[in-house]
Copies of this chain bind each other. A is one copy, B any other.
Amino acid sequence: MSILKSWSQKFLFTDFYQLTMSQVYFDYNIHEIEVQFDYFFRSYPNYGSHQAGFCIFAGLETFFEWLSQAKPKKQEIEFLKSLKNNSLKPLFKKNFLTWLKDIDFSTLNIEAIPEGRVVHPHVPVVSIKGPFALAQIIETPLLNILNYQTLIATKAARIKEAAKGQIVIDFGLRRAQGFGGNAGTRGAIIGGVDFSSNTGTCFCLGLTPKGTHAHSLVQAFIALGYSEEEAFWAFAKTFPDNCILLIDTINTLESGLPNAIKTFKKLKTLGKNPIGIRIDSGDLAYLAVQCYKELKKAGFENCVIVLSNQLDELVIHQILTQIEQEAQEYNLNPKEIISKLVFGVGTRLITSAGSCSLDGVYKLTGVKTKNSWKPALKISDSPAKTLIPGDKKTYRLIDTRGKAMADLICLKKEHPFDKEKFTIFHPQDSKIFRTLYKKEILKADLLQKPIQQNGKIVYEFPSLIEIKKQREQDLKELDQGVRRLINPHIYHVSLSEKLCHLREKLIKNYRNKTLTVKHSLD
């Protein structure tokens, strides 16, 4: 069977050890005990010379699409049945595979932060409660889907911020990881990209695909004995209402631009307005200024100027900075030029260049025995890797300026705002804390929502437009320092007093080799 069919093996789209561990749980009869796993990430993407100060969560609906289609197929069970151990006997036991073929992922209770929301390290983004083996098996697809779309949504949000509201188009498909490009386009759209050239995904998501033309069009016309101008005119005749011309195949200012202007004048005589030009090489800021100057002179000051070629948030930021300075040397208004720009972003968006993976993890945080939940801990030498145990909820605290001041993680059943004054703690170091007064807080926004409960989806997945509004709202609530492209201010993620104390106690017990705590979590 071909690699192209791998996508259809949805149940098997997982790491093998999830299945061998499930066999162990089955043999120990703990495969159906209730457990809790949390999905969270530990740090913002660090692109080397710059680092994100927030992430945009994406991938949740895709994960649920996977979940709804992940019931094992007969051939998947047959494959597992065919595997042998090192004594050449069947690796998996018959009664386990019989149980496995009928598993039902809808029995998992799932809470999550909605897509498009700003999210921060340590905050549980998705929490899964349900039968142990089921919650274990979904680890890999959950991480795969949420890590990557969140990574790309975050990169897209940064690029859109740098673009100061100008349109951004995803051109990344050719440098994506195979079909992963489809998920990348969805993440990019959630993060703030306006359009994509990925035609199949646009079809599937109800979007309008966008594009201009390639150098090969001009090259082919020239090889056939035509000129660049004739190539442009061929394009303009076919798309008189949608004419954007790529002007850097020969020489941007000496050939492409004058030929484009000639073409636009001819279009004008047909009563059509050209849309614009694209520049894909050279000093993009300088060329944008020069092209705007000539276009304006020729009466085409409304043309858009699409820029592409290894763009990312820093390159775009620098282009805008340079235009601000350079435009004035030609007595042009830089704001006018910038308002014409469109950014085509490819490789560095779809790969999140500089930080090509999100360190999202999926960790066991609780186990239910005899009807009471016990928090599960994993200690690490690195405090940042020690888990936040138990069943939790998170509030985003909005201050009286309307700005997000902190995300407060607390125990599910506590009421942190009962008192006029309360203390919040650093997520790794309980010696660092801060007292807050209720009156300082305008709003406490509960981030996690129930998504799947008692076998049913209880959540209406928002449209991409609604997700976009949520993202814009969340970004507005962030301080400018946190939104900064380089060296952003670190946003506060804190623990409630009760949660901090529970964790401290568990760590102490753990260090005393007691390793389990007697009290149940409530």
How far is the CB of A334 from the nearest CB of chain B, in Å? 26
Q: Which of A6-14, A156-164, A294-302 contacts B (4 or more CB under 8 A)?
A: A6-14
| Chain B residues with CB below 8 A from A184, complex form | 177-178
**Residues 184-238 of A contacting B (Cβ, < 8 Å):** 184, 186, 197-205, 208-217, 219-220, 222-225, 227, 234-235, 237-238
Contacts A16-B209, A356-B351, A516-B222; is A204 near B376 (CB within 8 Å)? Answer: no
Within the complex, the shortest CB–CB distance from A346 to chain B, in Å, comes to 9
A27 with B214, Cβ < 8 A, contacts A14-B199, A353-B357 known: no
The contact string, 1 if C-beta is below 8 Å from chain B, for chain A 65-84, is 11001000000100100010
Closest residue of chain B to A382 (Cβ to Cβ) is B281
CB distance from A302 to the nearest CB of B (A): 13
A5 at the A/B interface (Cβ < 8 Å)?
yes
Check if B178 sits within 8 Å of A182, measured CB to CB: yes
Closest chain B residue to A216, Cβ basis: B364
Q: A3-B183, A143-B174, A183-B178 are in contact. Are A200 and B9 (CB under 8 A)?
A: yes
Indicate if the CB atoms of A378 and B223 lie closer than 8 Å: no
Count copies of this chain in the complex.
2
The distance in angstroms between the C-alpha atoms of A212 and B11, with both chains bound, is: 19
Complex interface: stretch among A17-25, A257-265, A412-420: A17-25
Find chain B residues with CB under 8 A from A178 CB.
Answer: 62, 144-145, 148-149, 177, 179-180, 182-184
* Residue among B30, B175, B182, B220 making CB contact with A30, cutoff 8 Å: B220
- A176 contacts B171, CB within 8 Å? no
| A469 to B: closest C-beta gap in Å | 20
Residue A452 CB within 8 A of the other chain: no
Chain B hits for A205, CB < 8 A: 1, 3
Residues of B within 8 A of A37 (CB): 216
> Which of the residues B4, B87, B364 comes within 8 Å of A66, measured between beta carbons?
B4
Nearest 10 pairs between A and B by C-beta?
Answer: A180-B180, A177-B180, A17-B211, A9-B200, A178-B183, A12-B200, A6-B182, A16-B211, A177-B177, A143-B174
User: Which of A15, A62, A136 has the largest count of B CB atoms less than 10 A from its CB?
Assistant: A15
Known interface pairs A220-B376, A223-B366. Does A199 touch B12 (Cβ–Cβ under 8 Å)?
yes
Q: How far is the CB of A200 from chain B (nearest CB, A)?
A: 3
Contact B204 A6 (CB under 8 A): yes
**A residues 424-466 in Cβ contact with B at 8 Å:** none
Quote the shortest CB–CB distance from A455 to chain B (angstroms): 21
* CB-based contact A173/B83 at 8 Å: no
A242 contacts chain B at the CB level, 8 A cutoff:
yes
| A500 CB, nearest partner CB in chain B, Å | 20
Assess whether A86 is interfacial by the CB under 8 Å rule: yes
A175 lies within 8 A of B143 (CB): yes
Who on chain B is nearest to A352 by CB?
A: B356
In the complex, what distance in Å separates the CA atom of A227 from the CA atom of B514?
10
Let me know if A490 is at the binding interface, CB within 8 A.
no
List chain B residues, Cβ under 8 A from A62: 2-4, 178
A504 at the interface (CB under 8 A from B): no
Judge if A95 is at the interface, Cβ distance under 8 Å.
Answer: no
List the B side residues contacting A28 at CB < 8 Å.
Answer: 234
A181 near B: Cβ within 8 Å? yes
Question: Are A239 and B366 closer than 8 Å at their CB atoms?
Answer: no
Cα–Cα, bound, A180→B132 (Å): 28
Q: Which chain A residues (118-169) contact chain B, with CB distance < 8 Å?
A: 132, 136, 139-140, 143-145, 147-149
B239→A85 contact, CB < 8 A: yes
Contact B281 A380 (CB under 8 A): yes
Bound form: Cα–Cα A472–B179 in Å:
29
Flag whether A35 is at the interface (Cβ < 8 A).
yes
Residues of chain B within 8 A (CB-CB) of A356 are 351-353, 356
Known contacts A6-B182, A363-B216: does B19 contact A175 (CB below 8 Å)? Answer: no
Residues of B contacting A145 in the complex (Cβ-Cβ under 8 angstroms)? 178
A3 touches B186 (CB 8 A): yes
Query: Besides A15-B173, A136-B216, A139-B174, 6 other CB < 8 A contacts?
Result: A3-B65, A12-B203, A13-B179, A17-B213, A178-B184, A223-B364
A347 within 8 A of B: yes
User: Quick check: is A249 within 8 A (CB to CB) of the other chain?
Assistant: yes
**A378 adjacent to B249 (CB under 8 Å):** yes
Q: Could you tell me if B224 and A367 are in contact, using CB atoms closer than 8 angstroms?
A: yes
Alpha-carbon distance A216/B85, docked complex (angstroms)? 23
A-B contact pairs, 26 of them (CB 8 A): A3-B62, A3-B205, A6-B201, A9-B203, A10-B200, A12-B200, A13-B182, A24-B239, A28-B234, A30-B224, A76-B200, A85-B241, A91-B242, A144-B173, A144-B181, A149-B178, A175-B358, A177-B181, A215-B364, A216-B363, A219-B376, A224-B369, A224-B374, A282-B381, A351-B351, A351-B357
